[in-house]
Amino acid sequence: MRSTDGLLEVGFMRTVFDSLGTGVFVTDTTGLLTACNPRAAQLLGRPGEQMLGHDLHDLLHRRRDGGMVPRSECSLLAVLHSGRPAEGTEELFLRGDGSLVPVIWAATPLRHEGRSEGAVVVFHDFSLHRDAAEQTAAYLAALEGLTARLTMVAEISTVLISASDTPGMLKKLAGLLVPDMGDWAAVDLRTAEQTGEMQRVVVRTSGDQRVADALVGPLPSLPESTRSAAVQALRSAEPVVLDADTLAAEPDSPLASAHRDLFDRLGGTCAVVVPLHTRRKVFGALTVARAAPDSAYTEAEVFVLSDIGRRAGLVMEAAELFEQQRHVAETMQRQLLTPLPQVDHLSLAARYRPAESAAEIGGDWYDSFLLGDGALTMVIGDVVGHDLQAAAHMAEVRNMLRALAWDRTEPPSLIIRRLDEAMTHTSDAPMATCVFARIEGEEGGPWQLHWVNAGHPPPLLVTAEGDTRFLEAGHGPLLGLSSALHLGLGWPDARADLPPRSTLLFYTDGLVESRTRDIEAGLSALRRHAAVLADRDIEDFLDELLERIDPSGDDVALLVLRVPAAGVGAGDDEAPPQHAHNPAAPGRGAPGSRIEDSPVRDTSEPA
């Protein structure tokens, strides 16, 4: 019975041995193969019976070049000598067809009744695992490269979005591309579209930057026709890849020669030229080059550079439109700020400072004119909005006020009421704030201010001694609120005496309010600085006031009146000198009036 059980057990173990999904060898104490399972024969492409009796090491173990591994270095045979298990990866076994198969293996000494009988070697084809590992490594490397490119594009996008000027943006752009995308980068721009004039605005290199800086400057004009691949990028709005053969071609125009000079001075075996463009216009070209031998740009890298060129072009187009809008708005707004009258030694001066952003050009205005009864008006206002349309609405409201007021002797409140009705029923102008005032008095004084305030910051009165107070009376709702009159709201008339040699300041909220300062703090600062400047000439008063407060963000309009000393009248020798009107004089818009230059760009002054 036991004999039968033993036979059954042996048969069962043989079935297990033959059915294992991994290769199994059994060797004797000298390394000769005494058994192998079908999976081992399949993995090695050799019949099992042909391997039996052969030395495992001599038959199968090989180096990567196919040569024999020295027997002394065979880690599998070491198990027979040490008597200790061992394992390893990427040993190479010789297949029947002469190819090599990497294996992962484990060897265990075979002992029976206390005696060493040889070793059992279990192995598996490692090529699938290795291929998967290599694919994973390649995937991770590609992912890492993509992440690096996306990070670079994100950094470049941040630079493009936050750029305040085109030259600065292009310098930062070139700096981000070197050395990640090339050993040097250059940007050539079209400076005059009609004549094809060109300018190299930046060259950035990982080498000697002084050599690169010497290449910046005017370039030959864009030729009518050219075979140059680099110059073609400016005409076709398509990226151009330059290889060694293309770079070796002779330039066929002065501009192509100037482009070739980059490679002569900075080196380069390959390059990509991408246009800086939009659908409407090509602004210039970006060249990125590598100097290492046998280097080349991949299709993905060309795509990334092309996308960067397109993004830069969009920013340049936006900057161009930005400046065009700013110029139109400033010109429109400045031309509406008319010369100031000079009456009975009442000295007037004004300032207008545009906003720092073209998007902030808006509805601030000042005005002063004589009414039909000889009274002098002072007006300061602000139409809601910060764009070109706001400037247009400002012009509309200003002209309506002039038309409604000039021939009337009625109180300011009635003028403002008519203006509100006109805005509500005949205009699409939005809400607006305004202070409208009459300066009343006879020659030699005394003088009195008669005014209404439609939702505007209060005028500031500064005495000759430096005492200050805001004229809070006369306050009513904003203009353009059609419901104001229906709700019983109105604009009460207010009066105040203007002491001799006092200064009356009208201003818009950009002077006292900003994103970093609330209006209460701004009003307090205005009052403090105006008190210190009370004895200054009104021109200096305004200049010093703007310098001390240094408003930023919104546009600012200022209108100031200086009352003469008591008893001073027309023809009086003690009268302060008046400025002669000179339309050609820079910085002067009228007698006693100056329109300040934009803090962002120079603009012409109104005549």
Report phi then psi at 372, rounded to 5.
-60, -30
DSSP string over 195-229: TTEEEEEEEEESS-HHHHHTT-EEEPPPPSS---H
pLDDT at 579: 36
Note the pLDDT tens digit of each residue in 580-606: 333 222 333 333 334 443 333 333 333
Question: Would you say residue 261 has pLDDT above 90?
Answer: yes
Question: Would you say residue 125 has pLDDT above 70?
Answer: yes
- Is the separation of the CB atoms in 456 and 435 below 8 Å? yes
Mean pLDDT score of the chain: 82
Strand (E) or helix (H) holding 20: none
Position with higher pLDDT, 113 vs 351 = 351
Distance separating alpha carbons of residues 273 and 218, to the nearest angstrom: 19
Q: How many CB atoms lie within 10 A of CB 230?
A: 25
Q: How confident is residue 38, by pLDDT bands cut at 50, 70 and 90?
A: very high
Q: How confident is residue 113, by pLDDT bands cut at 50, 70 and 90?
A: confident
Work out the average pLDDT over 80-94.
87
Position with higher pLDDT, 127 vs 37 = 37
pLDDT at 75: 86
Strand (E) or helix (H) holding 526: helix 519-532
Percent of the chain residues topping a pLDDT of 90: 41
**Strand 475-476 to strand 494-498: parallel, antiparallel, or no bridges (unpaired)?**
unpaired
pLDDT at 586: 30
pLDDT at 290: 94
Q: How many CB atoms lie within 10 A of CB 410?
A: 10
Position with higher pLDDT, 361 vs 313 = 313
pLDDT at 138: 65
User: What pTM, to 2 d.p., does this model score?
Assistant: 0.52
pLDDT at 558: 95
pLDDT at 571: 45
pLDDT at 245: 86
Distance separating alpha carbons of residues 71 and 466, to the nearest angstrom: 106
**Residue 236 CB-half CA count within 13 A:** 15
Which tokens belong to 126? 């490692």
Distance separating alpha carbons of residues 125 and 101, to the nearest angstrom: 7
Distance separating alpha carbons of residues 429 and 383, to the nearest angstrom: 8
pLDDT at 584: 28
Which tokens belong to 183? 């050993």
Distance separating alpha carbons of residues 307 and 316, to the nearest angstrom: 14
- Is the separation of the CB atoms in 538 and 394 below 8 Å? no
Note the pLDDT tens digit of each residue in 63-73: 988 899 998 88
Distance separating alpha carbons of residues 553 and 326, to the nearest angstrom: 14
Least confident of 38-42, 342-346, 418-422, 523-527: 342-346
Which residues contact residue 553 at a Cβ distance below 8 angstroms, ignoring those fewer than 6 apart? Answer: 355, 356, 357, 360, 510, 514, 515
The torsion angle over the Cα atoms of residues 83, 86, 90 and 93, rounded to 10 degrees, is 30
Question: Would you say residue 548 has pLDDT above 60?
Answer: yes
Most confident of the following: 97-106, 147-156, 540-549: 540-549
Q: How many CB atoms lie within 10 A of CB 11?
A: 10
- Is the separation of the CB atoms in 185 and 174 below 8 Å? yes
Whether the ω angle into residue 109 lies within 30 degrees of 0, i.e. cis, is no
Distance separating alpha carbons of residues 430 and 502, to the nearest angstrom: 35
Which tokens belong to 133? 């590992």
Which tokens belong to 211? 């050599």
SS3 of the chain: helix, strand, coil, percent, to 5: 35, 25, 35
Work out the average pLDDT over 347-366.
75
Distance separating alpha carbons of residues 23 and 41, to the nearest angstrom: 8
Note the pLDDT tens digit of each residue in 462-513: 999 999 999 999 889 999 876 555 566 789 999 999 999 999 999 999 899 8
Distance separating alpha carbons of residues 41 and 48, to the nearest angstrom: 5
The torsion angle over the Cα atoms of residues 338, 340, 341 and 345, rounded to 10 degrees, is 180
pLDDT at 368: 93
Note the pLDDT tens digit of each residue in 282-338: 999 999 999 998 899 988 889 889 988 988 888 888 888 877 776 766 666 566 667
Q: How many CB atoms lie within 10 A of CB 215?
A: 18
The torsion angle over the Cα atoms of residues 190, 193, 194 and 199, rounded to 10 degrees, is -20
**Strand 468-470 to strand 376-383: parallel, antiparallel, or no bridges (unpaired)?**
unpaired
Question: Would you say residue 255 has pLDDT above 80?
Answer: yes
Distance separating alpha carbons of residues 36 and 120, to the nearest angstrom: 10
pLDDT at 199: 93
Question: Would you say residue 37 has pLDDT above 60?
Answer: yes
Q: What is the DSSP letter of 370?
A: B
Distance separating alpha carbons of residues 125 and 589, to the nearest angstrom: 91
pLDDT at 209: 94
Distance separating alpha carbons of residues 4 and 584, to the nearest angstrom: 126
Report phi then psi at 21, rounded to 5.
-85, 15
pLDDT at 504: 98
